[in-house]
Chains A and B, each alone.
Chain A
Amino acid sequence: MTASADIQAGRLRPDDYVENFNDVHPPLDRKRALIESARCYYCYDAPCVEACPTGIDIPSFIRKISTDNVKGSAVDILTENIMGGACARVCPTEILCEGSCVRNTQEEKPVNIGELQRYATDHLFDSGQQVFERAASSGKKVAVVGAGPAGLSAAHRLSLLGHDAVVFEARDKAAGLNEYGIAAYKVPNDFAQREVEFILSLGGIELRCGQAIGKDFSLTELRRDYDAVFLSMGMAGVNALGLENEDLEGVVDAVDYIAQLRQSGDLAQLPVGRKVVVIGGGNTAIDIAVQTKRLGAEDVTLVYRRGKDNMNATWHEQEFAQLNGVKIKHWAQPTKLMGQDGQVKEIEFEYTQLDDNGRLMGTGDHFSLLVDQVFKAIGQSFVPAPLMNGAADVLELSSGRIAVDEDRKTSLSDVWAGGDCVTGDDLTVAAVQDGKVAAGAIDRHLRG
């Protein structure tokens, strides 16, 4: 991206960058953790546990915080969710555990489970202790493709169960979207890499970065050389708007830009428009909108083609964006991109509504916005091509992603898959659960 007049780096004072991209929620100190933990009722058959995709025993870990058994608390968390530290920071708890907390019914204020989880896991990470021990070696070797939450979760569980895991990762760094995708202010201070180190410190996991399936090796080779394979490559494709002029300068994939932001050593070097339009209604749209605003964009407008309740972003995230000064416009879809000298200058929208059959349709009325940058955040897609490359057996797909059963087993007898490359909630916590479940199934398979 070349910087034109209205797309500039260094819009803020140096201190502002630090403040804007620091922890959105500062961690709880002991006193506040004790007060918050005392709010938990220690429910029986607790609804919050049921709402956690990884099934963390929430009342138990909270009770342990309240008794200052913080290590025990962290072990409870990590036993079910090895990325409990990341999840404490990135989970949309308002629709998961906290959304189900019985305190909502009582006083519309759930126990702050996420921050308590962070308190416990931070404590353990800071202590540098290893709390897990591998089972006796099974002599089996499992290949894991993709070192995101799903892959690392599977590798850790496999190693715990006594198997060796070799993790192939296309990028230079592990952690997947925790490193390249999650909003910077949710995981500051290199948290993603610290968590990777923690996971690898168990032993039995070999990480090979810069190794892409479909390029450096094939699925067929993995199946030949390993006792089982777990696929967790996430989604490599980004959906396009399907408009003319999409290649204008200033029309950007949100996911790419965020990856750049996350890897930027100096945010003041990152160019951002004065007038920004974001198209989409999910977390990525919210994240790019807030992050461009925090980089110094003056006007950030998020445009979504349906209503507020249809947005994938939770109410909490929508509110957060609005608090950050992002304007959210509903019921409009982009129809035209207009530019000058190869640089996008204006974007036209058509108002939308639902027809009698509940299908989305344009109303015929239009409006347009002057713009320096347009961010596309209308979803990602799974790209199956790398798997097919050289593979003798064809992996079955379902709704464009790898088809799996309850055990996360694919149509191939020795291949499992999980995370964003299979259907399900595209959340870190769901990816971790997939990895955990698949590792259990692989273990049973290997011990046959």
Chain B
Amino acid sequence: MADLRCNIAGVQSPNPYWLASAPPTDKEYNVVRAFKAGWGGVVWKTLGEDPPIVNVSSRYGAVNYNGTRMAGFNNIELITDRPLDVNLREIKQVKRDWPDRAMVVSLMVPCEEESWKRILPLVEDTGADAVELNFGCPHGMSERGMGSAVGQVPEYIEMVTRWCKKYTRMPVFVKLTPNITNILHPARAANTGGADAVSLINTINSIVTVDLDAMAPTPIVGGKGAHGGYCGPAVKPIALNMVAEIARDPECQGLPISGIGGVSTWRDAAEFISLGSGSVQVCTAAMHYGFKIIDDLTDGLSNWMDSKGHQSLEDFRGAAVPNVVNWNQLDMNYECIAEINQDLCIKCGLCHVACEDTSHQAIFAKRVDGERRYEVNDPECVGCNLCMLACPVEDCITMREVDNGKPYMNWLQDPRNPANIKAAE
């Protein structure tokens, strides 16, 4: 049995699965249920200064895609709406009752040194393992100069991180917003400020749907809507890329990452970890199915690790990072072409029409003795993968590597590169 124990920036948990700072971690009742179910840790719902904020009624929206509920999810909630002392008391109690679980406390206070100086000792007193600075919330709080309003300005990130390192001995996680053009700027700022780890991604600015009867974005609050924060399975690709960008950035080497964004299955978690994540944080999947999913998250990861011979998370953490390169490092001489397994083919013709209408006209639609038959026209196939992706039958179309005997040659070395043509002249 693989060892799932996780250690990130000195914070230990029996498994890498933490519930992200959100409604599932808003109070003792929920967190205790989560720990009973087996979650490795929580990032407590973001605390702020009193008086507590007030939430609106009608708070969530979703993208349901082709029968899949909540393929994407958004919300217009703010930080915790409960008094600070109530939260602190509960955090202390839970940490005392569940000492082996990671207890990270998320914070968001105004961008003033005094505010941070005031709140940090209170949190430290609970026995919490770490704090996470919420520089991500894209709605509501940002209008008040907090959340992503800070997260979008690298100088502020660095400054606040420094204050926190100054006023607490707890590890400081900085949670990054994806609502920026280059994730490396805020990540590097956090690193420079002394952050012990970064957590990402927070939610993405979004309007999930427009209600065409009400003519308003959902969720609708009294006839109007505001942009919200997008998360759930739909955002995983964006999150993975941002995690990978930081993991392979020379300036951020050694900076631990807590991966967040669309983690719903053990496979998602394994992908985040392979790109360098320490712990992974989950919100939407738990909000969709409840805490019981931790069972498959841990069990599935452990079984997969066994099948690969990985004994601990360290065995494969970051293993995919060296294979994430810039486009100009790809082998221009690599060639693959589509291959159709005629025994599996159900004759839906989707490969043909995809290639014919939108790609390279490389799949013949034939009739052989009246039977449909789809065949790849090898010389025309550029190996784009489209047909393979469109085919509804698993493994029916595969991409076969063509051995053309040519050596590795990247774009910088490629004679077709205009820069090289110029140099040759």
Contacts and interface: CB of A to CB of B under 8 A. Distances in A.
Contact of B350 (A34, A35, A43, A47): A43
A47 B66 contact: no
Contact of A41 (B348, B352, B365): B348
A105 interface: yes
Contacts of A90: none
A106 B392 contact: yes
A427 interface: no
Contacts of B392: 41, 106
A102 interface: yes
Interface residues of B, number: 13
B67 interface: yes
Contacts of A66: 66
B391 to A, nearest CB: 10
A38 B348 contact: no
A35 B67 contact: yes
Contacts of A46: 348-349
Interface string A81-124: 00000000000000000000011011000000000000000000
A45 interface: yes
Contacts of A102: 346-348
Interface string A201-243: 0000000000000000000000000000000000000000000
Interface string B321-352: 00000000000000000000000001111101
A40 to B, nearest CB: 10
Given A43-B350, A45-B349, A106 B393 contact: yes
B348 A44 contact: yes
B358 to A, nearest CB: 12
A44 B349 CA distance: 5
Given A41-B392, A44-B353, A45-B372, A105 B347 contact: yes
Given A45-B365, A47-B372, A106-B393, A38 B66 contact: yes
Contacts of A320: none
Interface string B155-196: 000000000000000000000000000000000000000000
Interface in B351-407: 352-353, 365, 372, 392-393
A360 B67 CA distance: 53
A42 interface: yes
A66 B64 CA distance: 12
Contacts of B66: 38, 66
A42 B348 CA distance: 8
A42 B351 CA distance: 12
A44 B393 contact: no
A105 B348 CA distance: 10
Nearest to A50: B372
B393 A42 contact: no
A42 B357 CA distance: 15
B349 A34 contact: no
A41 B350 contact: yes
A47 B349 CA distance: 10
Contacts of A34: 67
Interface string A32-65: 0011001001111111000000000000000000
Which residue, of A42, A44, A46, A105, has the highest number of chain B Cβ atoms within 10 A? A44
A116 to B, nearest CB: 14
Nearest to A105: B346
Which residue, of B66, B67, B350, B365, has the highest number of chain A Cβ atoms within 10 A? B67
Nearest to B367: A45
Which residue, of B66, B349, B365, has the highest number of chain A Cβ atoms within 10 A? B349
A42 B350 contact: yes
Contacts of B67: 34-35, 38
Contacts of B393: 106
Nearest to A107: B346
A38 B372 CA distance: 23
Interface in A407-448: none
A254 B393 CA distance: 47
A103 B348 CA distance: 9
A291 to B, nearest CB: 38
A42 B350 CA distance: 8
A126 B349 CA distance: 35
A44 B365 CA distance: 10
A81 to B, nearest CB: 23
B290 to A, nearest CB: 22
A404 to B, nearest CB: 25
Contacts of A106: 346, 392-393
B222 to A, nearest CB: 26
A51 to B, nearest CB: 12
A61 B363 CA distance: 26
Interface in B229-253: none
Contacts of B347: 43, 47, 102, 105
A105 to B, nearest CB: 4
B350 to A, nearest CB: 6
Given A38-B66, A38-B67, A44 B346 contact: no
21 contacts: A34-B67, A38-B66, A42-B350, A43-B350, A44-B348, A44-B349, A44-B350, A44-B352, A44-B353, A45-B349, A45-B352, A45-B353, A46-B348, A47-B347, A47-B372, A66-B66, A102-B346, A102-B347, A105-B346, A106-B346, A106-B393
What are the 8 tightest A-B residue pairs by CB atom distance, in nearest-first order? A44-B349, A44-B353, A102-B346, A105-B346, A43-B348, A38-B67, A102-B348, A41-B348
Interface of B: 66-67, 346-350, 352-353, 365, 372, 392-393
Given A44-B365, A45-B352, A45-B372, 4 more contacts: A41-B350, A66-B66, A103-B346, A106-B392
